[in-house]
Chain A
Amino acid sequence: MTASGAAGLRSGRIVVVGASLAGLRAAEALRDEAFAGELTLIGEEPHEPYDRPPLSKAVLSGRLSCDHIVLPRVRNIDAHWLLGTPATGLDVPARRVELADGRSVAYDRLLIATGTRARPWPVRAGGGLDGVHVLRTREDAERLRGALVAGPSRVLVIGAGFTGGEVASVCRELGLAVTVTQRSGAPLTSALGGVIGRAAADWYREAGVDLRTDTTVQALEGDPSGRLRRAVLSDGTVVDAEVAVVATGALANTEWLAGSGLAADQRGVVSDGGCRAVTTDGRRAEDVFVAGDVARWPHPHYFGRLLRLDHWDNAVAQARTAAHNLVHGPGDQRVHRPLPAFWSHQFGRYLKSIGVPALADQVVVTQGALDQRRFVAAYGLKGRLVGAVAVDSPRVLDGYAALIEARAPFPPMLGATDGPAHLDPVDAELPGRAAGSASDHDPGTPSALASAASAHR
Chain B
Amino acid sequence: MTTSTTPSATDLFARALRYENRADPYPHYAELRRHPVMRMDDGSWLVSGYREIRQLLHDPRSSADRLDPQNKIPKAARSLLMQDPPLHDQLRRVVTQEFVPRVMGMRDHLGELVGRLLDAHTSDRPGQLDVVAELAYPLPVTVICELLGVPREDEALFGGLARRLTRGLDPVDTQTEEELRELDRARGELVQYLEGLIIQRRTNPGNDLLSGLMFHEGPDRVLDPIQLRVTLGLLLIAGHETTVNLIANGTLVLLRNPDVLARLRTDPDLATPLVEEVLRHDPPVQISGRSALADIDLAGTTIPQGSRIRLMLAAGNRDPHRFEDPDRFVPDRRENAHLGFGGGIHYCIGATLARAEAQIALTALARRLHAPRLVTDPPPYRENAILRGPEHLLVAFERLTPDTPPVS
Q: Which of B289-297, B313-321, B365-373 contacts A (4 or more CB under 8 A)?
A: B289-297
What residues on A are CB-neighbors of B293 within 8 Å? 414-417
Digit string of B286-309 for contact with A (CB within 8 Å is 1, else 0)? 000000011101000000010000
Asked if A399 and B61 sit within 8 Å, CB to CB, the answer is yes
Asked if A376 and B60 sit within 8 Å, CB to CB, the answer is yes
Digit string of B51-63 for contact with A (CB within 8 Å is 1, else 0)? 0001100111111
Digit string of B271-290 for contact with A (CB within 8 Å is 1, else 0)? 00000000000000000000
A367 close to chain B: CB less than 8 A: yes
Closest-CB distance, B392 to chain A (whole angstroms): 38
- A137-B394 Cα distance, complex, nearest whole Å: 61
Query: What band does the interface of chain A fall in when counting residues whose beta carbon is under 8 Å from B?
Result: 20 to 34
Closest-CB distance, A423 to chain B (whole angstroms): 11
- A400-B294 Cα distance, complex, nearest whole Å: 14
Contact partner of A418 (CB less than 8 A), chosen from B62, B84, B305, is B84
- Once A367-B85, A396-B345, A406-B297 are accepted as A-B contacts, the answer to whether A414 and B61 lie under 8 Å apart by CB is yes
Digit string of A355-389 for contact with B (CB within 8 Å is 1, else 0)? 00000000000111000001010000000000000
B405 close to chain A: CB less than 8 A: no
**Beta-carbon nearest neighbor of A392 in chain B:** B89
What residues on A are CB-neighbors of B63 within 8 Å? 417
Asked if A418 and B58 sit within 8 Å, CB to CB, the answer is no
- A406-B55 Cα distance, complex, nearest whole Å: 13
**Beta-carbon nearest neighbor of B219 in chain A:** A373
Closest-CB distance, B235 to chain A (whole angstroms): 21
- Once A396-B345, A414-B293, A415-B293 are accepted as A-B contacts, the answer to whether A402 and B55 lie under 8 Å apart by CB is yes
Asked if B344 and A413 sit within 8 Å, CB to CB, the answer is no
B196 close to chain A: CB less than 8 A: no
B218 close to chain A: CB less than 8 A: no
Closest-CB distance, B357 to chain A (whole angstroms): 25
Asked if B344 and A395 sit within 8 Å, CB to CB, the answer is yes
B86 close to chain A: CB less than 8 A: yes
- A413-B302 Cα distance, complex, nearest whole Å: 14
A419 close to chain B: CB less than 8 A: yes
What residues on A are CB-neighbors of B55 within 8 Å? 398-399, 402
A397 close to chain B: CB less than 8 A: yes
**Beta-carbon nearest neighbor of B346 in chain A:** A395
What residues on B are CB-neighbors of A376 within 8 Å? 60
What residues on B are CB-neighbors of A368 within 8 Å? 86
What residues on A are CB-neighbors of B84 within 8 Å? 417-418
- A415-B63 Cα distance, complex, nearest whole Å: 9
Closest-CB distance, B298 to chain A (whole angstroms): 9
**Beta-carbon nearest neighbor of A388 in chain B:** B60
Asked if A399 and B86 sit within 8 Å, CB to CB, the answer is no
- Once A398-B55, A406-B297 are accepted as A-B contacts, the answer to whether A418 and B85 lie under 8 Å apart by CB is yes
Closest-CB distance, B144 to chain A (whole angstroms): 25
- Once A395-B345, A396-B344, A396-B345 are accepted as A-B contacts, the answer to whether A416 and B85 lie under 8 Å apart by CB is yes
What residues on A are CB-neighbors of B62 within 8 Å? 399
- Once A414-B61, A414-B294, A417-B293 are accepted as A-B contacts, the answer to whether A398 and B345 lie under 8 Å apart by CB is no
- A310-B62 Cα distance, complex, nearest whole Å: 33
Asked if A415 and B85 sit within 8 Å, CB to CB, the answer is no
What residues on A are CB-neighbors of B54 within 8 Å? 398
Digit string of B39-72 for contact with A (CB within 8 Å is 1, else 0)? 0000000000000001100111111000000000
- A419-B297 Cα distance, complex, nearest whole Å: 20
Asked if A419 and B60 sit within 8 Å, CB to CB, the answer is yes
- A367-B59 Cα distance, complex, nearest whole Å: 12
Asked if A417 and B305 sit within 8 Å, CB to CB, the answer is no
Closest-CB distance, B37 to chain A (whole angstroms): 13
- A402-B63 Cα distance, complex, nearest whole Å: 17
Asked if A399 and B60 sit within 8 Å, CB to CB, the answer is yes
**Beta-carbon nearest neighbor of B83 in chain A:** A417
Asked if A396 and B58 sit within 8 Å, CB to CB, the answer is yes
From 207 to 243 in chain A, residues with beta carbon under 8 angstroms from any chain B beta carbon are: none
Closest-CB distance, A393 to chain B (whole angstroms): 9
Asked if A413 and B60 sit within 8 Å, CB to CB, the answer is no
**Beta-carbon nearest neighbor of B293 in chain A:** A415
From 417 to 434 in chain A, residues with beta carbon under 8 angstroms from any chain B beta carbon are: 417-419
- A426-B170 Cα distance, complex, nearest whole Å: 45
What residues on B are CB-neighbors of A418 within 8 Å? 84-86, 89
What residues on A are CB-neighbors of B61 within 8 Å? 399, 414-416
Contact partner of B60 (CB less than 8 A), chosen from A367, A374, A406, A408, is A367
Complex A-B: 6 CB contacts under 8 Å: A367-B60, A398-B54, A399-B58, A414-B294, A416-B60, A417-B84
Q: Which 7 A-B pairs have the closest CB atoms?
A: A415-B293, A399-B59, A398-B58, A417-B84, A418-B85, A416-B60, A415-B294
B interface with A by C-beta (< 8 Å): 54-55, 58-63, 84-86, 89, 293-295, 297, 305, 344-345, 347
Q: A395-B347, A417-B84, A417-B85 are in contact. List 17 more A-B contacts (CB 8 A).
A: A376-B60, A395-B58, A395-B344, A396-B58, A398-B58, A398-B59, A399-B59, A399-B60, A399-B61, A406-B297, A408-B297, A414-B61, A414-B293, A414-B294, A415-B61, A415-B294, A416-B293
